[in-house]
Amino acid sequence: MPLPLLLVGAAIGSLLAHDNQKDFLAAQDKDRFITSKTDTGREPSEILPSPKKTALVPGSLVCCEVYEAFIHTGVVVDDNTIVELHGSGLIRAVSKERFLQQRSGKNIFIACDRSGAPLIFNSIDQLATQDVFNFYEYNLLTSNCYRHTWRWLTGIDIAIESFGDFNGKLTSKLGEEIYWDVVL
Predicted confidence (pLDDT) per residue in 69-123, tens digit: 899 999 999 999 999 999 999 999 999 999 999 888 899 999 999 999 999 999 9
Does 8 have pLDDT greater than 60?
Answer: no
Q: What is the mean pLDDT of residues 138-142?
A: 94
Question: Percentage helix, strand, coil, to 5, in the chain?
Answer: 35, 20, 45
* Pairwise pLDDT comparison (34 vs 150), residue with the higher score: 150
pLDDT class for 18, splitting at 50, 70, 90? very low
Q: What is the mean pLDDT of residues 173-179?
A: 94
Predicted confidence (pLDDT) per residue in 32-68, tens digit: 556 655 567 889 999 999 999 999 999 999 999 998 8
Give the C-alpha separation, 172 to 182, whole Å: 22
**What pLDDT does residue 102 have?**
83
Print the domain residue range for 128. 2-183
**What pLDDT does residue 2 have?**
58
CATH of the domain at 69: 3.90.1720.10
Give the C-alpha separation, 97 to 114, whole Å: 27
* Buried residues in 15-52 as b, exposed as e (16+ CB within 10 A): eeeeeeeeeebeebeebbeeeeeebebbbbbeebbbeb
CB 114 within 8 A of CB 177: yes
Number of domains into which the chain is organized: 1
Residue 87, SS3 per DSSP: coil
